[in-house]
Amino acid sequence: MGALDELTALAADRTAAAREWAAAGRPVAGYVGADVPVEVLTAAGFLPVRLTGDPDAPSDPGDRYLGRGLDPVARSVLTRLLDGAYGRLDALVVSHDCEASLRLFYAVRELHRTDPGIGLPPAHLVDVLHLPHRTTTRYVLAKIRQLRAQVERWSGAAVTDDALATAVATHDRVRALLERVAALRRSRPARLTGTQALAVVAATTALPPDRAAELLEALLAEADALPEHGGTRVFLTGSSHDHPAVYAALEGAGLLVVGEDHDWGDLLHHRRVDPPADPALLELALAERYQHNGPAAAAASIRQRAAHTAAAAAACGAEALVSYVRVHDDAPRWDFPAQRATTGLPAVLVDHQPYGRVDLDALAGLRPRGAAA
């Protein structure tokens, strides 16, 4: 099996590595949101696994506690937690990246407290702010220290500075390799489809980081043998995608997703920690990385989003801009007019989309002549 096939298989079964990790008696921590400092979990010996929803499965249990007026991804994640779909989780860390994540955290925390028989893990909230101020840096630094203390209580052992430095270096290595992999679909012709690139990123969020780095290096070594891909080169903005269905539908219709600005794609790895020489400054460097990461739709200004989208779309050689906005995920809709104006690309807003589905008829003007509907 080649590296791309292995990474794609791991993206399809994102609990595979966790099952092996847990079978060896080691702890697994689920996490929600790209604002979670996974380095702290890795340093404590946890395998951090980013939790995903399932657009093809009913979310009735999650709907019962969260209501149907919330982003369906959060409702699906809660449903899968209640169903035990992620296997054994020793802890859960949730970032306050949006209102849906915050409500998910409160639901899990209360259910863990009031009904321990359900088997939900203990939960901790990480509140990372993204304002460009030193006071914000101090706030985020305090939140990272709180997470470190909580992880130490869960594990029963100290998170040493050496362990944290090693974890930071390993996760930075994964981010650097993901940036090189992203270049494979930006090339002309592209060596990866957007669907494949999304799967590669997803797999790295469910693997031990050293194993993820090994597979990414193997993929890069195989790059010249990868097939070439064509199609109308589109940059995808709007809601995030923890599932490949929308990408697969777009690319099945003749569009090639060469880049995106959501945190299951390029936003996940475009900024590194770059640890300082002085170990005493490592937590500060980690805080600055998460503070300045983004800009995500729920946390950044319209101006920031438009500038980032324009620069990223140009770097990808995009020929069109598609903004995909999922139902009950309102923030990205406000960004679209400025993104369209700033990129200067033919642009389409596909609004109020069901989780994991996309209205291809709305994109008819972008699809190559003769492409499947």
Which helix (H) or strand (E) covers residue 303, if one does? helix 302-316
Query: Of 159, 191, 215, which residue is a domain's last?
Result: 159
What does the pLDDT read at residue 14? 96
Query: Of 98, 133, 159, which residue is a domain's last?
Result: 159
Arithmetic mean of pLDDT, 303-315:
95
Expressed as residue numbers, the domain containing 200 is: 163-363
Arithmetic mean of pLDDT, 38-66:
97
- The domain that contains 86 carries what CATH number? 3.40.50.11890
Arithmetic mean of pLDDT, 56-68:
96
What does the pLDDT read at residue 325? 97
Residue 372, domain member (yes or no): no
Residue 323's contacts (CB-CB under 8 Å, 6 or more residues apart) are 236, 237, 238, 332, 333, 335, 336, 339, 347, 348, 349, 350
Residue 119, domain member (yes or no): yes
Are 153 and 284 members of one domain? no
Are 268 and 352 members of one domain? yes
Distance separating alpha carbons of residues 364 and 290, to the nearest angstrom:
38
What does the pLDDT read at residue 195? 98
And the tokens for 111?
A: 């259910």
What does the pLDDT read at residue 300? 87
Residue 298, domain member (yes or no): yes
Q: What's the structural domain count of the chain?
A: 2
Mean pLDDT (the chain, rounded): 95
- The domain that contains 168 carries what CATH number? 3.40.50.11900
Are 198 and 146 members of one domain? no
Query: Of 159, 188, 207, which residue is a domain's last?
Result: 159
Order across the sheet with 91-95: list the strands.
47-50, 28-32, 91-95, 123-126
Residue 154, domain member (yes or no): yes
Are 174 and 85 members of one domain? no
pLDDT of residue 373 exceeding 70: no
pLDDT of residue 370 exceeding 80: no
At 299, is the pLDDT very low, low, confident or very high (cuts 50, 70, 90)? confident
- Residue for token pair 């319209």: 302
Which helix (H) or strand (E) covers residue 140, if one does? helix 134-155
Are 142 and 195 members of one domain? no
pLDDT of residue 367 exceeding 80: no
Q: Could you please report the per-residue DSSP string of 213-237?
A: HHHHHHHHHTGGGSPPB-SEEEEEE
* Local structure of 259: helix, strand or coil: strand
pLDDT of residue 16 exceeding 60: yes
Q: What is the pLDDT of residues 262-273, one digit of tens each?
A: 999 999 998 999
Residue 261, domain member (yes or no): yes
* Cross-strand pairs, 236: 260, 322
Q: What is the pLDDT of residues 123-160, one digit of tens each?
A: 999 999 999 999 999 999 999 999 999 999 999 999 99
Are 335 and 216 members of one domain? yes
Are 278 and 138 members of one domain? no
Q: Within 10 Å of residue 271's Cβ, how many Cβ atoms?
A: 16
Helix pair 302-316, 161-186: axis angle to 10 deg? 60
Are 58 and 184 members of one domain? no
Answer yes or no: are the C-beta atoms of 49 and 205 closer than 8 Å: yes
Answer yes or no: are the C-beta atoms of 347 and 321 closer than 8 Å: yes
Q: Shortest CA distance to 339 belongs to which of 289, 304, 299?
A: 304
Are 211 and 231 members of one domain? yes
Arithmetic mean of pLDDT, 350-360:
97
Arithmetic mean of pLDDT, 297-321:
93
Amino acid at 101: S
Are 114 and 50 members of one domain? yes
Are 91 and 170 members of one domain? no
The terminus-to-terminus CA distance of the chain in angstroms comes to: 32
Q: What is the pLDDT of residues 209-254, one digit of tens each?
A: 999 999 999 999 999 999 999 999 999 999 999 999 999 999 999 9
Strand bridging mode 347-353 / 123-126: unpaired
Residue 286's contacts (CB-CB under 8 Å, 6 or more residues apart) are 37, 39, 40, 144, 164, 168, 273
Arithmetic mean of pLDDT, 61-82:
97
| Pick from 78-87, 209-218, 343-352, 358-367: least confident | 358-367
Residue 168, domain member (yes or no): yes
What does the pLDDT read at residue 372? 53
Are 126 and 173 members of one domain? no
Residue 228, domain member (yes or no): yes
Residue 368, domain member (yes or no): no
Largest Cα separation within the chain, whole Å, is 61
Q: Shortest CA distance to 299 belongs to which of 337, 334, 323, 350?
A: 334
